[in-house]
């Protein structure tokens, strides 16, 4: 037998030599401390829940319920009636009963404040199946977004070729259209499948008055009584999510404002040069968006030209006042007033509205008007959307909007990437209902009518201490050769924070060689100046010396709702779908 043949045979022998995961030393030590004669009774477990898991209201009955909930795992023997043995305790720690976010919390934020007091799970070009230039338009991505709890759906509406019907498509691109009526029916069917709280439809309107009237008829017939119509020209204050449960809300520019908007369109929306900083190191290179085919450089140039042309919408076709029945549908008025950015950010005590800015515009404006943006978003709604050159449907750092109080940070939901993972993580908060109450410092004025300054240097409020013990489940969810043809994988974990710039950081463990059940036992301290806006990022990769490291799972968790203690953290795939088995055992402590 040749040496090469021997090496291959040896590697295959290593590959199939799987063992069960074993409790790390610290878990064994904790078990010894909270058990007696090799068993953890309900009384012992209650003390563990209070001391280590910081569940200060835990009762002995709660501990009994945990023990009873493990009996189906077949880890009990006759002698186990005294309580949990080490393997039972270890199974409990790795079980779905021990999640990092409490399932019992449910929707626990105050939902009776105006809509402007919430971050809202918001989609961009919600009808696109892939890239922004040539993908199909469909109601399927709308369905998927609503099933995930997205609460704002964007539809670009254009006349069809015959000019007597309305299509949804990304205008003046190669995207194939879908009928508006089909999209509306989809929204009605799936609007409240994941959440009872209101769905906002933002319309990018390129229609003539007669087609606006047709849209008004479609919308009214489709949604009927669940359509919210304010009954007045402008709202003085937005209603609350609680008062709008299971309602549909329309937001767009009133027709006459199309003409006015052209007069005040700002010049010079060139891409900003990236600044050299530690952010790329902390954030990591963006995981590519949904692959939709290669787009040649000349198509990129054409697309940028189309984006410029698209700004010159159908204003020349619109009658100054538009269709009155269409105007009455609009509950959240949008548009940019005359007079530049100071006028755009003016707070009117008698009416509220929505302002839309691209990610580039917001970044530019925030350099000089950060506090004014915060003051504006205390009453009004700010929508931020991806820059036009993101033709691959990638996304941007959502914190640029959240730190300024922007409620609708609009994302392309059809792809994947680290920015989208953070967005999904933020909206796991508040029971996943798609509305997250903004922290008080973004809502209430300070003494002397001052507001939060996003650029101010802040002191550390708390430090999140994270211990990554171990992981398991890859041997169940992946083929034996998925990561390496001839040997077990070499996993490492990345842990960090997506937050304000001072808090944003990413750290990593060492790689554990040739092990389907890696045990790292590494601890990291993450100082937080604004923990209210922090999202914990967790990733696992498989180290590859010669090629790109393989993806092994990810999740993002809202820090304000993170439970202290040792927790079982389920990982998800690139698209955000939870794996069946892959989990990490981690400990979270707030110092």
Residues assigned a catalytic role? 124, 170
DSSP-assigned beta bridge partners for residue 502: none
Sorted by sequence, the CB contacts under 8 Å of residue 116 that are 6+ apart come out as 238, 352, 377, 378, 379, 380, 381, 407
HSE toward the beta carbon, residue 513, CA cutoff 13 A: 2
User: Which H/E stretch holds residue 464?
Assistant: strand 462-472
- Three-state DSSP at 301 gives helix
Q: How many CB atoms lie within 10 A of CB 239?
A: 17
CB within 8 Å of 255: residues ≥ 6 apart: 205, 209, 212, 318, 319, 320, 321, 322, 323, 326, 327
- The alpha carbon of residue 547 and the mean position of all alpha carbons in its chain are separated, in whole angstroms, by 29
Q: Which of 436, 452, 435 is nearest to 444 (CA)?
A: 452
In the DSSP assignment, the letter for residue 156 is E
Q: Are 247 and 227 contacting, i.e. CB atoms less than 8 angstroms apart?
A: yes
| In contact, 522 and 468? CB cutoff 8 Å | yes
Q: Where are the beta strands (DSSP E) in 313-406?
A: 330-333, 354-358, 381-385
CB 535 within 8 A of CB 499: yes
CA dihedral 80, 86, 90, 93 (to 10 degrees): 80
SS3 label, residue 559: helix
| Interaxial angle between packed helices 86-93 and 25-33, expressed in degrees from 0 to 180 and rounded to the nearest 10 | 120
Structure tokens at 84: 């949990």
Integer-rounded Cα radius of gyration of the chain: 26
- Which residues contact residue 512 at a Cβ distance below 8 angstroms, ignoring those fewer than 6 apart? 490, 491, 492, 518, 519, 520
Residues 87, 82: Cα–Cα separation, whole Å: 14
Q: Which residues pair with 523 in a beta bridge?
A: 467
Instruction: Let me know: does 558 contact 428? Beta carbons within 8 Å.
Output: yes
Angle, helices 180-190 vs 140-147, to 10°: value is 20
Task: Name the DSSP class of 176.
Answer: B
Contact 524, 466 (CB under 8 A): yes
Nearest to 389 by CA among 261, 289, 270, 287: 270
3-class state of residue 367 by DSSP? helix
Determine contact, residues 411/123, Cβ cutoff 8 Å. yes
Give the tokens for residue 88: 């039972």
Rounded to whole angstroms, how far apart are CA atoms 501 and 457? Answer: 10
CA–CA distance, 21 with 98 (Å, rounded to integer): 17
DSSP state for residue 266 in the 8-state scheme: P
């Amino acid at each position: 037998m040749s040496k090469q043949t021997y090496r291959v045979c040896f590697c295959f022998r290593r590959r199939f030599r799987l063992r069960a995961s074993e409790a790390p030393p610290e878990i064994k030590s904790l078990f010894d401390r909270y058990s007696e004669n090799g068993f953890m009774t309900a009384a012992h477990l209650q003390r563990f829940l209070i001391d280590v898991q910081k569940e200060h209201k835990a009762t002995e009955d709660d501990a009994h319920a945990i023990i009873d909930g493990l009996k189906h795992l077949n880890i009990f023997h006759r002698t186990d009636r005294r309580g949990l043995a080490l393997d039972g305790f270890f199974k409990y720690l790795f079980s779905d009963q021990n999640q990092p976010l409490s399932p019992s919390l449910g929707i626990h934020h105050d939902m009776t404040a105006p809509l402007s007091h919430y971050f809202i799970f918001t989609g961009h070009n919600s009808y696109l199946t892939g890239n922004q230039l040539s993908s199909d338009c469909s109601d399927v991505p709308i369905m998927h977004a609503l099933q995930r709890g997205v609460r704002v759906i964007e539809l670009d509406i254009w006349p069809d070729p015959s000019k007597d019907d309305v299509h949804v498509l990304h205008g003046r691109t190669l995207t194939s259209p879908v009928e508006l009526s089909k999209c509306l029916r989809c929204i009605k069917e799936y609007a409240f499948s994941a959440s009872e709280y209101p769905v906002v439809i933002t319309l990018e309107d390129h229609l003539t008055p007669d087609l606006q009237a047709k849209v008004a008829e479609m919308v009214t017939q489709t949604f009927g009584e669940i359509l919210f119509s304010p009954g007045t020209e402008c709202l003085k204050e937005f209603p609350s999510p609680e008062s709008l449960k299971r309602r549909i809300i329309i937001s767009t520019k009133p027709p006459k404002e199309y003409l006015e908007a052209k007069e005040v369109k700002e010049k010079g929306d060139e891409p900003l040069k990236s600044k050299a900083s530690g952010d790329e190191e902390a954030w990591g290179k963006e995981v590519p968006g949904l692959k939709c085919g290669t787009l040649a450089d000349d198509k990129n140039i054409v697309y940028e030209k189309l984006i410029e042309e698209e700004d010159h919408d159908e204003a020349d076709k619109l009658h100054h006042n538009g269709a009155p029945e269409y105007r009455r549908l609009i509950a959240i008025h949008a548009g940019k007033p005359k007079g530049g950015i100071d006028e755009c950010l003016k707070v009117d005590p008698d009416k509220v509205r929505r302002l839309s800015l691209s990610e580039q515009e917001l970044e530019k404006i925030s350099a000089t008007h950060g506090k004014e943006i915060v003051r504006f978003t205390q009453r009004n709604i700010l929508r931020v959307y991806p820059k036009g050159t993101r033709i691959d449907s990638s996304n941007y750092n959502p914190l640029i909007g959240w730190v300024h109080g922007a409620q609708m940070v609009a994302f392309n939901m059809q792809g994947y990437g680290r920015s989208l993972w953070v967005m999904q993580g933020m909206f796991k908060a508040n029971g996943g209902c798609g509305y997250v109450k903004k922290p008080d410092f973004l809502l209430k004025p300070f003494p002397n009518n001052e507001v939060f300054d996003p650029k101010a240097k802040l002191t550390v409020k708390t430090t999140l201490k994270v211990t990554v013990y171990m992981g398991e489940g890859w041997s169940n969810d992946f083929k034996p050769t998925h990561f390496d043809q001839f040997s077990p994988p070499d996993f490492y974990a990345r842990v960090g924070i997506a937050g304000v710039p001072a808090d944003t950081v990413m750290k990593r463990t060492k790689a554990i060689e040739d092990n389907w059940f890696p045990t790292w036992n590494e601890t990291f301290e993450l100082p937080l100046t604004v923990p209210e806006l922090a999202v914990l990022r967790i990733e696992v990769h498989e180290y590859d010396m010669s090629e790109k490291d393989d993806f092994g799972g990810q999740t993002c968790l809202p820090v304000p709702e993170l439970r202290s203690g040792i927790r079982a953290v389920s990982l998800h795939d690139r698209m955000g779908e939870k794996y069946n088995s892959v989990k990490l055992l981690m400990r979270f402590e707030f110092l």
